[in-house]
Each structure stands twice: as structure tokens, then as C-alpha cells.
Copies of this chain bind each other. A is one copy, B any other.
Amino acid sequence: MTASSRPAHPRERRTAGDRRAQLVQIGLELLPTTPVQELTIDEVARRAGISRSLLFHYFANKREYYTAVTRAAADLLWEHLLPAPGTPPEEQVTGMLDRYVGWVETFRESHLAFVRGAAGGDPWVSEVYADTRRRLVEVALAALELPDDALRRQLVLAWFAFTEDLVGQWVHEPTTTRPELLDLLRDVLRGLVGDRPALLRAGR
């Protein structure tokens, strides 16, 4: 009123791409403290220094926004896990496992929050991570030089669930050494789908 008609924070104008990226980034930063679906448009807009309306200019609705955030988180994980091209097959799986545990160790709550959000509630969000997992199965089976029939796919997916759960517990209460954990996980996987499966008696 007393001052100029310009707002205190002069309106910051960005390109569409920049703004979208910023909003997703803010979502990522809020992930550890807030379940994805409970992010409020108000809070995100406030942190971005924009109006609520603008967020709806970039995302049709709230769900589209937080699925975008979830996808961004899944992509970060995916890129971190993927073996460098040229890695010999036998090292690929151990490498991915090692990096996965490292990832969980580094981000702890943040990652657990992501998994929770991805596992539960909204089907749209679940589908995002389910997609990433499916791609990881392909990579894993290829690295193990095994065919990916339906049964093996299911077993590797279930082994992911096992791994996620176990590593999640382990970072909070390390009941074994890190190398032992890695060996265990690799042995379980080999036992499940390896070419001379110790467990997979149910061949077809």
C-alpha cells in the first residue's frame, strides 16, 4: 500500500521446463518428511514462491503432480543402480546389490518414505515404481544370463520385495556385517532362480 504496487518479491518468471523441474525438486525434498499423497499444493507453491494456480498450470491435478515426483525419485534410483555399460555379467548383479544397499544407507528415511509411498495407497503411484521394478528384473535376469520366463520374473520380483524389506530393517538394526548381508541376498537370489536352483524345485 505505502510502497509501490510491485510485490515485495518481484515476480520471478521462468521457462516452463525450469518451473516444472523446480516443483518436482521441491516435492523430492518434502518426500522424507511427508507421505507423497499428503503433500499440500499450498505448501509446495509457498516454497516455490508462486501461487497455487500456477502449479495447476503445470500439473492437471494433485495426483499428476505427486506421481511426477514419485517418477523422479524412481528415476534417480534407476540411474544409480544401472550397471555401467561393459561391466561383465557376473559383476553386474553384485554391483547393483552393493549400490542398492549404499543408496538405502545414504538416504535412509528418504528412501523408505519413497518405498512406502510407492507400495501403498494410490494405484497410479504404485504403477510408477512397479514399472521400474519390472525393468530391473529384466536387467537382473540378463545379467545372470538366465531366460526370463514368467515364473522367474515373479520370483525375482518377490526377491525384490524381500530385499527391500530386509535392507530396510538392516539399516535400522544391522544384525550382520555389510558383506554378509550382500552375500545373503545374492545367495537367496541364486537359490531362487539360478540354473541349478537349490530352492526352485517347482520347475515346470
Residues of A within 8 A of B (CB): 35-38, 116-123, 126, 150-151, 154-155, 157-166, 169-170, 173, 175-177, 180-181, 183-184, 187-188, 191-192, 198-202, 204
For A199, list chain B residues within 8 Å (CB).
184, 187-188, 191, 198
For A191, list chain B residues within 8 Å (CB).
188, 191, 198-199
Q: Are B198 and A198 in contact (CB under 8 A)?
A: yes
For A200, give its contact among B160, B161, B165, B184 (CB under 8 Å).
B184
For A188, list chain B residues within 8 Å (CB).
188, 191-192, 199
Q: Are B126 and A154 in contact (CB under 8 A)?
A: no
| In the A-B complex, the 10 residue pairs with the closest CB atoms | A120-B120, A180-B202, A161-B165, A158-B166, A162-B162, A151-B175, A119-B119, A158-B165, A161-B161, A119-B120
Q: Are A181 and B202 in contact (CB under 8 A)?
A: yes
Report how far A118 CA is from B188 CA in the complex, Å.
26
For A184, list chain B residues within 8 Å (CB).
199-202
The 7 sampled A-B contact pairs (Cβ below 8 Å) are A35-B122, A154-B166, A161-B162, A184-B199, A188-B188, A188-B192, A198-B198
